[in-house]
């Protein structure tokens, strides 16, 4: 008999979110991305159509803007999981802690071949190409400009992403 209290959901789980983070970090490699930027990117990678990119992977539900409010902790927990399985490396420097795809990330990502995974990789590449090298201020301006109905301050501490390396 399965103890339902131990069943882990897949949708918006640490595993799903961590897999998206690995795909985004793999697309960004060798750049590092901080937690705030990865939180924004976790949302944007599945809603690229809202930002002028490829068709969104997830439907345009009206409540999706609220997702940003709860993502930071989930992204943080998912990065811890992905570090434990050696798919993500933490990098500490004068700007703080940021994250980079590990050497094991690219082979892991290449094994994902479903239609959804291929579309997610395409969206991640587009996202990185258009947003990864922007300063925190420029990223905030771009998000406000492209997604004017959204608020770019989504975390409880008002953290904005720092530049990647």
Please tell me the predicted confidence (pLDDT) of residue 153.
Answer: 40
> Left, alpha or beta for 125 (phi > 0: left; psi -120 to 50: alpha)?
alpha
Q: Is the dihedral of CA 108, 73, 133, 55 positive or negative?
A: positive
Res 10 pLDDT > 80: no
Question: Is the entire prediction scored with pTM above 0.95?
Answer: no
Q: Is residue 95 part of a domain?
A: yes
Please tell me the predicted confidence (pLDDT) of residue 62.
Answer: 59
The pLDDT confidence band at residue 151, using thresholds 50, 70 and 90, is very low
What total of structural domains would you count in the chain?
1
Q: Are 139 and 161 in contact (CB under 8 A)?
A: yes
Q: What is the tens place of the pLDDT at every residue in 75-128?
A: 999 999 999 999 999 999 998 999 999 999 999 999 999 999 999 999 999 999
Please tell me the predicted confidence (pLDDT) of residue 59.
Answer: 77
Res 66 pLDDT > 70: no
Across the chain, what does the average pLDDT equal?
83
Tell me the percentage of the chain whose pLDDT exceeds 70: 75
- The bridge status of strand 88-93 relative to strand 96-101 is antiparallel
Res 149 pLDDT > 90: no
Q: Is residue 50 part of a domain?
A: yes
Please tell me the predicted confidence (pLDDT) of residue 152.
Answer: 44
Q: Is residue 159 part of a domain?
A: no
Phi and psi for 153 in degrees, rounded to 5?
-95, 100
Mean pLDDT across 1-13: 59
Domain that holds residue 52: 10-146
């Amino acid at each position: 008999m399965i103890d339902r209290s131990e069943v882990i959901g897949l949708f918006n789980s640490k595993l799903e979110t961590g897999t998206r983070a690995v795909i985004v970090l793999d697309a960004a490699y060798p750049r590092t991305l901080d937690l705030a930027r990865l939180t924004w990117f976790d949302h944007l990678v599945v809603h690229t159509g809202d930002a002028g990119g490829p068709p969104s992977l997830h439907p345009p539900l009206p409540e999706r803007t609220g997702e940003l409010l709860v993502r930071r902790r989930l992204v943080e927990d998912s990065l811890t999981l992905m570090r434990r399985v050696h798919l993500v490396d933490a990098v500490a420097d004068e700007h703080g802690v940021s994250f980079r795809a590990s050497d094991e990330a690219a082979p892991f990502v290449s094994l994902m071949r479903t239609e959804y995974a291929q579309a997610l990789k395409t969206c991640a590449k587009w996202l990185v190409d258009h947003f990864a090298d922007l300063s925190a201020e420029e990223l905030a301006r771009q998000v406000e400009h492209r997604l004017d109905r959204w608020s770019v301050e989504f975390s409880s501490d008002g953290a904005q992403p720092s530049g990647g390396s």
